[in-house]
Amino acid sequence: MSAKQACLIIGAGDDTGAAVARAFAREGLVVCLVRRPRHAQALETLAQSIRDQGGEAVALPADARDEDAMIDLIERIERDVAPIGVAIFNIGANVRFSITETTSRVYRKVWEMACFAGFLMGREVAGKMLTRGHGTIIFTGASASMRGSDGYCAFAGAKHALRALAQSMARELGPKNIHVAHTVIDGAIDSNFIRENLPDVDELRDKDALLNPDAIARNYVMLHNQPRTAWTHELDLRPWSEKW
């Protein structure tokens, strides 16, 4: 059997997800990029850019909230690409509504995107990793994983639940040689969303007051490469200027 391994990235967006994908491709893994089908072209563009730089990448559009789609996705990667050595759940779903304006549809959709989809990924890849006796699973959290802020009841509820999922999985799978980690991304990321919505983004970047996606990605690679004598479960990342 080939020693090549796949890195599955659920939520391979234009910023953090793309940076994580490039970082793991440089490590020699085949990166499997997943976003919803409506982002298929952007996904393929990212995959091609990684291939142009000498890495291996496959674009696999899928809805991570769809149980059958996720089961089929994991089976396809294991069968046609390579065994999944690391799986990263990176869906954000950051929305803001007051409690009185948060509809049941919004709350349910945010939970499905930011938590339920993570459960589906975690369950399916864990089953494969257990048969091999090793693997890494990383869940991307946020400030909302730790505290519920004004206007973020849906997002905080989902991210709190994702953190609890990661803790439960770590306690179950860690003794079986599967490293489960949860990251708390505390602060604004230098992303398309921030660049479009913060008027002082250039000043913040010049002061290193934004989270750099490539720096986040290096930490994810570090988590994957940690020796099991000193595994990190929860890693919080924030700019030096961010208030706790």
Q: Confidence class of residue 238 from pLDDT cuts 50, 70 and 90?
A: very high
Task: Tell whether 243 is covered by a domain.
Answer: no
Q: Taking residues 179-191, what's their average pLDDT?
A: 93
The answer on pLDDT for 35 being more than 50 is yes
Note the pLDDT tens digit of each residue in 208-236.
989 999 999 999 999 999 999 999 999 99
pLDDT score at 155: 93
Q: 147 lies in which domain range?
A: 6-235
**pLDDT more than 90, % of the chain:** 84
Task: Give the contacts of 138 (CB within 8 A, at least 6 positions apart).
Answer: 86, 87, 88, 89, 180, 181, 182, 183, 220, 223, 224
Per the structure block, which two tokens stand in for 51?
């291939």
Contacts of 170 (CB under 8 A, 6+ apart): 180, 181, 182, 233
Q: Is residue 58 part of a domain?
A: yes
192 confidence band (pLDDT: 50, 70, 90): confident
- Max mean pLDDT among 11-20, 53-62, 200-209 falls in 53-62
**Residue 1: its pLDDT value, please?**
38
pLDDT score of 2 more than 70: no
Residue 1 in any domain: the answer is no
Residue 244 in any domain: the answer is no
**H-helix or E-strand spanning residue 195:** helix 192-197
Residue 78 lies in a domain: yes
Is 240 inside any structural domain?
no
Q: Where are the extended beta strands (E) located within 43-112?
A: 56-59, 84-89
List, for residues 79-117, the tens digit of each pLDDT value.
Answer: 999 999 999 999 988 888 999 999 999 999 999 999 999
Q: What is the pLDDT of residue 92?
A: 85
Question: Is 156 inside a domain boundary?
Answer: yes
- In the chain, how many domains are there? 1
Residue 147 lies in a domain: yes
CATH number at residue 177: 3.40.50.720
Instruction: Please answer whether residues 117 and 89 qualify as being in contact, where contact means their C-beta atoms are separated by less than 8 angstroms.
Output: yes
